[in-house]
Structures are given as C-alpha cells and as structure tokens.
C-alpha cells in the first residue's frame, strides 16, 4: 500500500526547509556514515549555492501532517557535452522505508529529467546499503565501484616530495588560478577531462570560495605548461578533515612519478599551512591501480566502498510520471 504522501517541489530553500532536509538526510546517512554527519549549515549552503556548472531541482516527500519523510535532488549539468546528464540524490527516513516513498520521489525526479531532456541519471550509494537493492529494483545499472580512503596526516609519508623530477618544478596556489597559469591550467584540465576514472569527484565544487571553502592546488610545471595538478578542499565549518579533489597528470607527462610527487607536496603543504587538519579523505575507482599505489605509498587506508549507478531515461512525452518512466540500459 503506497504511503499517503505528497511530493512537493522545493523552489526556494528557506532555513526551515533546509533543516527538514538535513533531518532526513542525517538520519538516512547515520547507518552508512555514522561519524560523518553533515551539519545543517553545510546542507543549507549546498542546497542554495549557485554553481556555474549545474542547477538543482529539489523535492520533499511530506506526510499528511506536514512531516518530511524523504528528500530528492536532481543536479542538472550545464557544460557543453554534459547536458544529457543529471545526478540524483535521494534519502528516505529509516523509519519510513519500504512504503514506496523512495519510488515516488524517484518517479518525480525521472519525470523532471525527461522534461529537461536528460538521457542519463546517475547516483551514488553505499556498499551493502539499501540503495543497492533499490537501484537494482528500479532499473539502474551499476557502472562503477569506488574505494573511499583516508590518510592520517600524523602518520603520512611525504618523503616523495623531496625526490628530484628533472625538468619539472612545483607551483602552489589557493583559490583561483594565477593569471599567468590560467590558460595552461585550463588546457591541462581539458586534456584529462575525459578520464573515465581518477580522483575526481563530481561534487568537486568549482566555486569553493562562494561556499566559504578553501581550495588548495599544487601543480607540476614543465617550462610554462601545467603537466599535472592535485587539488584539496577544506570545507567551511570543517577544521579537521580535508577532501581530496582531482589529481591528474597530462598524458604525455605520465610515468614519471608526478602523481606521487604532487600529492606528497600537498601533504607537506597541509602540514605546514594548515596544521589543524588531521586527515585527508579521498575516493577513486576500485580498479584504478595507479592511484591505489600512489595513495598507499602516502599512507592512505581504505575504509569503505560505494557504487555508482546509472539509469537511462526515455525522452519526454513517451512515459507518464510514474515508475513506467524507468528502464534499464540494456
Ligand atoms: C534507497 C532508499 C531511498 C529507498 O527508499 P524506500 O522508500 O525504502 O524505497 P521503496 O519503498 O520505494 O522501495 C522500492 C523497492 O526497492 C527495493 N528495496 C528498497 N529497499 C530495500 C531493502 N532494504 N532491501 C531490499 N530491497 C529493497 C524493493 O524492491 C522495494 O520494493 P518492495 O518494498 O515492494 O519490495 C532508502 O533506503 C534510503 O534513503 N537509503 C539511503 C540513501 C540511498 O541509498 N539512496 C539511494 C540513492 S538512489
């Protein structure tokens, strides 16, 4: 028997609505990430931040008494070549699961994806959590398994930062890339942009400064060209953990140990400039052998897995806003 809930679009996120969202999300995440609950402030900032690469559609599932039992967000990517993609976030309060709330929110999100001409919706779920069974039941295909690792900075081995890399030198900056490196940094990003794997989180926050986050970059320069880079974000409201963002080496500069060199230099920079940071968190594809080796050399330890699922979406007009809108990729 479906739950008598209403799915309400959330076009303006007031502080009160953000609190409702946070309550559902925190309760939902508690099982899989007990030591990492997001703060209400972080949730509010994430839901309201304007981003240059995407926009968000949000929904709440409300019971007749107004209490919120589920939330869903769809991030619609805007850069050229990504206009067919949408990222789904979906949470149902643990005490209200298996009553169809998740399916109703998903149907609404898929309908919106159709209207927005999105062909593919992807989402991430924790290993061995209910999201796995839900995605399988609703026609998603598992496309990637990621390993989540953390590095205790007090025990990290940054000795690789001392190794000589003839022909290369290190450059560091905080926030926006310096003018003189802007073009070559953009070219390096473009050169690695089609990487199927890598230490590359989609929620990388291209505008960290807008959210009060601090973006640290260490780059390897070959002459005046960026040959590789590694990025770390220290989130606003966070004074213990730093998040790894992209680490990439331009194809013609690979095989020279630049990845380890860059990351070791970043560890050293964090130790010197941000001594309060005790840990770096990262994730990468489980089968990315190169990153596994680099991260283990630095002392990263894996602590969980997650899976990325993808759902193909039919064009608008071919299905009503119910579960018929879903079909698998086969
Ligand atoms: C995944 C989640 C959103 C499902 O919400 P829900 O309201 O329980 O989902 P539904 O009741 O609509 O379930 C639909 C179907 O999914 C499958 N399913 C959902 N949870 C399941 C579980 N724990 N075990 C086995 N099958 C499950 C079942 O086939 C279910 O149909 P049934 O109850 O008729 O057997 C919820 O468990 C959750 O918030 N999990 C944590 C966050 C997460 O993983 N989000 C997924 C992103 S897509």
> How high is the pLDDT of residue 197?
44
Beta carbon of 98 within 6 Å of any ligand 1 atom: yes
Q: Are residues 294 and 311 in the same domain?
A: no
The answer to whether 219 and 226 have CB atoms below 8 angstroms apart is: yes
Q: How far apart are CA 274 and CA 144, in angstroms?
A: 33
Does ligand 1 have an atom closer than 6 angstroms to the CB of 101?
yes
What is the domain extent for residue 213? 156-298
C-alpha span between 275 and 158 (Å, rounded): 15
Q: Would you give per-residue pLDDT tens digits along the chain (330 residues)?
A: 555 899 999 999 999 999 999 999 999 998 777 667 788 888 998 899 888 899 999 999 999 999 999 999 999 999 999 999 999 999 999 999 999 999 999 999 999 999 999 999 999 999 989 999 999 999 999 999 999 999 999 999 999 999 999 999 999 999 999 999 999 999 999 988 754 445 654 443 344 555 688 999 999 999 999 999 999 999 887 889 999 999 999 999 999 999 999 999 999 999 999 999 999 999 999 999 999 999 999 999 999 999 999 999 987 766 544 444 444 332
Q: Which two tokens stand for residue 118?
A: 């999105």
Residues 180 and 271 in one domain: yes
SS (H, E, C) 37-104: CCCHHHHHHHHHCCECCEEEEEEEEECCCCCEEEEEEEEEECCCCCCCEEEEEEEECHHHCCCCHHHH
Residue 257 belongs to some domain of the structure:
yes
Q: Which residue minimizes the CA distance to atom 16 of ligand 1?
A: 134
Residue 1 lies in a domain: no
Q: For tokens 């590359």, name the residue.
A: 200
Burial label for 12, CB within 10 Å (0-12, 13-18, 19+), is exposed
Backbone angles phi, psi at 68, to 5 degrees: -95, 125
Instruction: Say yes or no: 208 and 260 in one domain.
Output: yes
Q: Which of 89, 98, 85 is nearest to 22 (CA)?
A: 89
Query: What pLDDT score does 319 carry?
Result: 52
Q: Is the CB of 97 within 6 Å of ligand 1? A: yes
Backbone torsions φ then ψ of 49, nearest 5 degrees: -65, 130
Pairwise CA distance, residues 283 & 253, whole Å: 23
| Separation between Cα atoms, residue 98 and residue 104, nearest integer Å | 11
For residues 171 and 286, state if they share a domain: yes
| CA–CA dist 189, 233 (Å, integer) | 17
Q: Is residue 268 part of a domain?
A: yes
Tokens, residue 55: 């926009």
Instruction: Please enumerate in sequence order all residues whose Cβ is within 8 A of that of 138, keeping only pairs 6 or more positions apart, or say none.
Output: 103, 106, 311, 323, 326
CA end-to-end span of the chain, whole Å?
Answer: 30
In-domain check, residue 314: yes
Q: Max CA-CA distance within the chain? A: 68
- Same-domain pairing of 42 and 126: yes
Residues 204, 142 within the same domain: no
Q: Can you tell me which atom of ligand 1 is nearest the CA of 89?
A: 47
227/264 same-domain check: yes
Residue from 23, 71, 98 to probe ligand 1 pocket by mutation (most atoms less than 8 Å from CB): 98
Residue 166 lies in a domain: yes
128: phi then psi, degrees, rounded to nearest 5:
65, 15
Same domain for 83 and 117?
Answer: yes
Does residue 102 have its Cβ closer than 6 Å to ligand 1?
yes
Domain CATH for 226: 3.40.630.30
Please state the domain count of the chain: 2
114 and 241 together in one domain: no
- The burial of 276, by beta-carbon neighbours within 10 Å (0-12 exposed, 13-18 middle, 19 or more buried), is given as exposed
Alpha carbon separation from 212 to 49, 209, 238, 303 (Å, rounded): 11, 5, 10, 28
Ligand 1 atom 9, closest CA: 102
Ligand 1 atom 15: residue of nearest CA: 134
The atom number, within ligand 1, closest to the CA of 31 reads 41
Is residue 66 within 8 Å of residue 20, measured between CB atoms?
no
Q: Does a structural domain hold residue 151? A: no
CA 94/CA 298 separation, integer angstroms: 37
Question: How far does the centroid of ligand 1 lie from the alpha carbon of residue 171, in Å?
Answer: 47
Statement to judge: residues 177 and 287 lie in one domain: yes
- Report the separation in Å between the CA atom of 91 and the middle of ligand 1, taken as the mean of its atom positions: 9
Considering the domain boundaries, does residue 39 fall inside one?
Answer: yes
Give the pLDDT confidence score for residue 46 in this predicted structure: 86
Residues 204 and 129 grouped into a single domain: no
Give nearest CA residue, ligand 1 atom 4: 102
323 lines ligand 1 (CB under 6 A): no
One domain for residues 32 and 163: no
Any ligand 1 atom below 6 A from CB of 137: yes
User: Is residue 237, in this structure, part of any structural domain at all?
Assistant: yes
């Amino acid at each position: 028997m479906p739950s008598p809930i209403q799915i309400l679009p959330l076009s303006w996120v007031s502080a009160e609505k953000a609190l409702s969202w946070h309550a559902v999300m925190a309760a939902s995440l508690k099982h899989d990430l007990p030591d990492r609950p997001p703060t209400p402030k972080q949730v509010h900032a994430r839901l309201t931040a304007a981003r240059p690469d995407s926009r968000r559609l949000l929904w709440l599932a409300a019971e007749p008494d107004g209490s919120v039992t589920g939330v869903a967000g769809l991030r619609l990517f805007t850069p050229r070549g990504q206009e067919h993609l949408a990222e789904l976030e979906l949470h149902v309060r643990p005490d209200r699961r298996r009553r169809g709330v998740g399916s109703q929110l998903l149907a609404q999100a898929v309908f919106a994806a159709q209207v927005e001409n999105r062909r593919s919706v992807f989402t991430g779920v924790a290993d061995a959590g209910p999201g796995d069974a839900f995605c399988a039941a609703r026609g998603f295909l598992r496309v990637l398994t990621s390993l989540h690792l953390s590095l205790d900075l007090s025990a990290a081995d940054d000795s690789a930062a001392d190794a000589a890399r003839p022909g290369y030198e290190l450059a560091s900056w905080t926030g926006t890339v310096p003018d003189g490196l802007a073009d070559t940094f953009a070219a390096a990003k473009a050169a690695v942009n089609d990487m199927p794997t890598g230490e590359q989180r989609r929620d990388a926050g291209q505008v960290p400064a807008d959210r009060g986050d601090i973006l640290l970059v260490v780059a390897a320069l070959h002459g005046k060209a960026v040959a590789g880079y590694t990025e770390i974000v220290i989130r606003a409201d966070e004074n213990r953990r730093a998040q790894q963002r992209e680490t990439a080496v331009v194809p013609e500069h690979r095989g020279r140990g630049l990845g380890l060199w860059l990351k070791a230099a970043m560890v050293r920079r964090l130790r010197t400039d941000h001594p309060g940071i005790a840990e770096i968190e990262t994730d990468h594809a489980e089968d990315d052998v190169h990153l596994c080796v680099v991260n283990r050399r630095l002392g990263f330890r894996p602590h969980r897995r997650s899976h990325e699922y993808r759902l193909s979406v039919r064009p608008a007009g071919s299905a009503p806003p119910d579960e018929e809108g879903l079909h698998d990729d086969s």
